[in-house]
């Protein structure tokens, strides 16, 4: 039996990033330095390094001891995982404290790697890189809220603006305001006054990063009964965000419905995080609040990639990796892309570039659930895809991918599909997912998921008919089961089904 994990990519080398922040010290290990970095281990310790720094100018001894303890553990974990590519970074707390330099020397000794102290502007840039290369066609303002500081920087595609850092992290705000929200509100307003970066969000999006804002979004997600558990690219319309932040500020945190979704250590910070977001909304007049799970750490990864790698589509990259790791024949899934390209072109249906990239990703993911029992392949595939750690795709896009593959296994009805999940996609996306699912049902029945067949068995539309050609030497494939699936697909695209045997 093989002694190495077959579910891991063999072409990349793992790396780890340790982020010493004002509230938490976190280790994230990634599968490799790739366009779609996948975490293989993620752990944090809430050390509260930023607590009291604004008042005393020093990192507290007990907070430093907690950080050292966490780092010793992380050093051993990196050794166990055999990761030699380790980066250690520190942000606002170590930056602002008088004893920050000595603290970082000890951190470096423990980790056997020099800890990098990020300037505020570099922190802002790295956060923006995480958003620019983690969210498809990002356009607006990146706001990274930590314990000690808030970084703001504009982003449009891969173009970044000039960043700014402000001393209004949630821990700093608590200390400066002595827990008084009214006083904290004035501090925030003064800091945000007349900042040019805020104009970039007008009638666009604010991309929020940071543990407190993720906790706030998780709370919002739970209260909505949202059908996905993925935080990345979770969108809160601005009106809803205004009402929700006002609620969080007004009532005691422990009385909020679903508050158990937020860790007890994070709850005291929620109101201050809500206050910063509320003031940003007032100043920026955005359309949406978009949560980014990617930030400084992923920015460090993207910074190291080549220009060629950065041009890769992260969704297609991730789907390609899963295809290699889980499909019976990765080549077959690649062939389905070309096969459905020809089919979709023949239908004369309009297909935008974004819809085409989603279809290509769905083709690559079409067979990842084959090891499950046949009765549960659709459900398992749908859950894996809907909740996978993909980047470069929004939640409606996730639903399209999940449903297209679910229809391929379950049939073209909706009786086994969650209505709440379907609500996240547009009618057009649902229709296209069903069409692709119907085509996949035909493809897999004539190929047994093996390559080398589809090239000789085109599926195409004429004005009246939906035609599947079968080579004469494969004539036994042209049976009733295949025709029934062809007929089901023809019905939803308004054509008459026909199978042709060709020499």
- 3-state SS class at 289: strand
Count of beta carbons in the 10 Å neighbourhood of residue 486 = 25
Rg of the chain (C-alpha set): 25
Write the DSSP symbol of residue 4.
Answer: S
* Neighbour count for residue 489 (Cβ, 10 Å): 24
Side-chain half-sphere CA neighbours of 110 within 13 A: 23
Q: What is the DSSP string of 117-138?
A: E--HHHHHHHHHHHHHTTSTT-
Per-residue pLDDT of the chain (503 residues; tens, 9 = 90+): 555 666 777 767 999 999 999 999 999 999 999 999 999 999 999 999 999 998 999 999 999 999 999 999 999 999 999 999 999 999 999 999 999 999 999 999 999 999 999 999 999 999 999 999 999 999 999 999 999 999 999 999 999 999 999 999 999 999 999 889 999 999 999 999 989 999 999 999 999 999 999 999 999 998 888 999 899 999 999 999 999 999 888 877 766 766 776 777 778 889 999 999 999 999 999 999 999 999 999 999 999 999 999 999 999 999 999 999 999 999 999 999 999 999 999 999 999 999 999 999 999 999 999 999 999 999 999 999 999 999 999 999 999 999 999 999 999 988 888 899 999 999 999 999 999 999 999 999 999 999 999 999 999 999 999 999 999 999 999 999 999 999 999 999 999 999 999 98
SS3 468: strand
Query: Which helix (DSSP H) or strand (DSSP E) does residue 24 occupy?
Result: strand 24-30
Dist CA 386 CA 228 (whole Å): 7
Distance CA(227)–CA(208), nearest Å, equals: 21
Structural domains in the chain plus CATH codes: 15-117 (3.30.420.40), 121-298 (3.30.420.150), 314-502 (1.10.3210.10)
Do 295 and 209 meet the contact criterion of CB atoms below 8 Å apart?
A: yes
User: In the structure encoding, which two tokens stand for residue 490, read together?
Assistant: 């023809």
- With 0-12 / 13-18 / 19 or more C-beta atoms within 10 angstroms meaning exposed / middle / buried, residue 239 is exposed
* DSSP H stretches of helix in 387-457: 395-410, 419-422, 427-447
Tell which residue, 272, 425, 229, 431, has the closest CA to residue 349: 431
Phi, then psi, of 124 in degrees rounded to 5: -60, -45
How would you classify the pairing of strands 85-90 and 15-20?
A: parallel
CA distance 218 to 293: 12
Predicted TM-score of the model (pTM): 0.94
Per-residue buried b or exposed e for 132-146, using 16+ beta carbons within 10 Å of the residue's own CB? bbbbbebbbbbbbbb
């Amino acid at each position: 039996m093989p002694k190495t994990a077959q579910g891991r990519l063999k072409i990349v080398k793992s790396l780890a990033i340790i982020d010493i922040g004002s509230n938490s010290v976190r280790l994230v290990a990634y599968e490799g330095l790739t366009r779609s970095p996948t975490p293989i281990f993620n752990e944090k310790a809430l050390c509260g390094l930023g607590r009291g720094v604004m008042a005393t100018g020093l990192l507290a001894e007990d907070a430093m001891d907690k950080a050292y303890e966490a780092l010793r553990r992380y050093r051993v974990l990196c050794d166990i995982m055999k990761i030699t590519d380790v980066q250690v970074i520190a942000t606002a707390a170590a930056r602002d404290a008088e004893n920050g330099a000595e603290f970082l020397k000890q951190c470096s000794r423990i980790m056997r790697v020099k800890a990098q102290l990020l300037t505020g502007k570099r922190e802002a840039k790295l956060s923006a890189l995480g958003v620019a290369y983690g969210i498809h066609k990002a356009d607006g303002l990146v706001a990274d809220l930590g314990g000690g500081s808030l970084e703001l920087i504009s982003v449009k595609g891969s173009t970044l603006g000039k960043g700014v850092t402000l001393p209004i992290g949630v821990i700093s705000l608590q200390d400066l305001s002595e827990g008084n929200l009214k006083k904290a509100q004035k501090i925030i307003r003064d800091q945000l006054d007349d900042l040019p970066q805020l104009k970039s969000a007008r009638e666009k999006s604010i991309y929020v990063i940071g543990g407190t804002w993720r906790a706030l979004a998780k709370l919002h997600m739970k209260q909505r009964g949202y059908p996905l558990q993925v935080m990345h690219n979770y969108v809160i319309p601005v009106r809803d965000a205004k009402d929700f932040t006002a609620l969080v500020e007004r009532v005691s945190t422990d009385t909020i419905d679903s508050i158990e979704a937020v860790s007890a250590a994070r709850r005291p910070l929620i109101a201050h995080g809500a206050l910063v977001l509320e003031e940003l909304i007032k100043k920026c007049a955005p359309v949406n609040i978009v949560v980014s799970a990617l930030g400084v750490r992923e920015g460090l990864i993207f910074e190291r990639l080549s220009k060629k790698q950065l041009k890769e589509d992260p969704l297609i990259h991730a789907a390609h990796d899963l295809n290699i790791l889980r499909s019976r024949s990765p080549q077959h899934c690649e062939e389905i892309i070309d096969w459905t390209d020809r089919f979709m072109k023949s239908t004369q249906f309009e297909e935008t570039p974004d819809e085409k990239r989603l279809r290509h990703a769905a083709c690559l993911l079409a067979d990842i659930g084959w090891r499950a029992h046949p009765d549960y392949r659709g459900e398992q595939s749908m859950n894996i895809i809907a909740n996978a750690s993909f980047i470069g795709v929004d939640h409606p896009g996730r639903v399209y991918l999940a449903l297209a593959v679910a229809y391929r296994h379950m049939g073209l009805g909706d009786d086994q599909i969650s209505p709440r999940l379907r609500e996240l996609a547009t009618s057009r996306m649902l229709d296209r997912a069903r069409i692709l699912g119907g085509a996949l049902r035909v493809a897999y029945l004539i190929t047994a998921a093996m390559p080398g067949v589809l090239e000789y068995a085109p599926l195409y539309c004429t004005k009246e008919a939906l035609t599947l050609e079968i080579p004469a030497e494969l004539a036994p494939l042209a049976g009733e089961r295949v025709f029934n699936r062809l007929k089901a697909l023809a019905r939803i695209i308004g054509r008459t089904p026909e199978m042709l045997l060709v020499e």
